[in-house]
Each structure stands twice: as structure tokens, then as C-alpha cells.
């Protein structure tokens, strides 16, 4: 996943930042720790990860009191991930309170790189293209590149391990990037059976 330039805040494709496209009746998630509105980080078209799928994976994280709401944990209540269907077409109403949006909306492009793992692919892409490795925004599918131990979430409804969907870097510009502790990565998962989703980050 590479930086594809600036995107419209309501672009329908995979992107970081902007305003999430959501289904009717969606309510912006609030942090279970501080009750503040969460920050929207990214939406990923499911078809970009698994061709033939329809809908979006959307990721939110609390940034009202960074580090105090356990937003790195998949179950502590400081972040949320959603799997939306084909009816996720309207920009959500953004709450007036809380830190809700990133300072930049970035389009995501997808490029296939032959490598043994994600880290090798990231560095190899930068060398071949002569672009900064910061312009690699993550990976879709593949093998998880954990920065610490394996923390694959378990689906609450069915109890099965979730499927890895996306790994997110903080962003191409430190001034507008997400906050994963400074140099960390975020990880998005979904349950293919229950349509449940989860997010966490590691540094």
C-alpha cells in the first residue's frame, strides 16, 4: 500500500483520513475510557484485500488523551473497527467534540512486490522507485509483520481467531500522520463468519 497523493475527504476508495463513508444509522464511535469521539484513521475497500468482496473496513482510534485510553489494545475500548456493506456510501456526520479527523486525506495505491516479507518488500520498493520508505502506507493481506508478539484478536461472537486484513504505517508525513506511538504500526482484522472487526497497534 503506497501513498497515492491527496484525496477528497469523501473519496470512495481506500484511503487514510477524510470522513468515513458509512451505512444509514451509523453513530460515530466514542472511547469507552474517556467518552470522547474517536479519530477516524482509514477506510479500506474489502475488494482491495480480497477481490470479489464488497464493502469497507473502517478504523477509528481515540486521540483525546493519547496513551491514557489504552488505544493500542484491541479490547480496551480505545479503538474500534467496523466492516460495512455495500450501503456504506454516505459521509458520516462528524461530532463537534473530540479529535476526530486526521489533518490530511491520502489516497492508497496497491502495488505487488516480490519479497520474503513485508519489511523486505517495503525497503525493496523504496530502492527500486527511489521514493521514501515513508510513502509505503502498509500492506493489505499477506503475513503480519508484528513489531512485538503475535496479538491476533479473537472474535467475540464466535471465539475464532480473526483474519488479518491490513497493516497501517503512521503515514508519509509526520506532521499529518496517525499516532501509533512514534514509529509503530496498526493492524486491522475481521471475522469472515461474523463480520466483526478489531484493531490494535504496536510499537
Look-up: residue for cell 461474523?
194
Could you tell me what percent of the chain has a pLDDT over 90?
95
How much is the average pLDDT of 154-174? 96
The grid coordinates listed for 72 are: 493500542
In the chain, the N- to C-terminal Cα span, in Å, equals 19
How much is the average pLDDT of 65-75? 94
How much is the average pLDDT of 48-77? 95
- Calculate the average pLDDT of the chain: 96
58: pLDDT strictly greater than 90: yes
Which domain does 59 fall in, by range?
2-202
Report the domain count for the chain. 1
Question: pLDDT, tens digit, for every residue of 6-37?
Answer: 999 999 999 999 999 999 999 999 999 999 99
The grid coordinates listed for 57 are: 473496513
d(CA 41, CA 184): 14
The grid coordinates listed for 123 are: 525497503
Report pLDDT for 114.
86
> Which band of pLDDT confidence, cut at 50, 70 and 90, is reported for residue 47?
very high
- Which residue, 92, 37, 108, 110, is CA-closest to 69? 37
131: pLDDT strictly greater than 90: yes
How much is the average pLDDT of 58-80? 96
Question: pLDDT, tens digit, for every residue of 168-199?
Answer: 999 999 999 999 999 999 999 999 999 899 99
Report pLDDT for 67.
87
Report pLDDT for 195.
86
Q: Where are the beta strands (DSSP E) in 38-103?
A: 39-45, 56-61, 79-84, 90-91
d(CA 191, CA 197): 6
Amino acid at each position: 500500500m503506497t501513498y497515492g497523493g491527496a484525496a477528497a475527504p469523501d473519496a470512495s476508495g481506500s484511503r487514510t483520513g477524510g470522513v468515513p463513508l458509512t451505512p444509514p444509522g451509523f453513530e460515530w464511535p466514542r472511547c469507552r475510557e474517556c467518552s470522547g469521539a474517536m479519530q477516524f484513521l482509514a477506510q479500506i475497500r474489502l475488494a482491495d484485500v480480497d477481490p470479489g468482496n464488497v464493502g469497507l473496513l473502517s478504523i477509528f482510534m481515540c486521540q483525546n488523551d493519547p496513551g491514557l485510553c489504552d488505544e493500542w489494545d484491541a479490547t480496551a475500548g480505545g479503538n474500534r473497527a467496523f466492516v460495512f456493506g455495500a450501503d456504506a456510501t454516505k459521509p458520516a456526520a462528524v461530532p463537534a467534540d473530540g479529535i476526530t479527523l486526521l489533518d490530511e486525506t491520502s489516497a492508497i495505491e496497491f502495488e505487488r512486490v516480490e519479497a520474503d516479507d513485508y519489511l523486505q518488500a517495503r525497503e525493496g520498493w523504496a530502492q527500486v522507485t527511489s521514493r521514501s520508505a515513508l510513502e509505503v502506507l502498509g500492506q493489505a493481506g499477506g503475513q503480519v509483520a508484528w513489531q512485538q508478539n503475535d496479538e491476533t484478536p479473537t472474535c467475540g461472537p464466535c471465539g475464532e481467531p480473526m483474519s488479518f486484513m491490513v497493516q497501517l504505517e503512521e503515514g508519509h508525513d509526520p506532521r499529518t500522520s496517525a499516532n501509533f506511538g512514534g514509529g509503530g504500526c496498526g493492524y486491522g482484522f475481521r471475522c469472515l463468519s461474523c463480520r466483526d472487526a478489531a484493531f490494535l497497534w504496536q510499537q
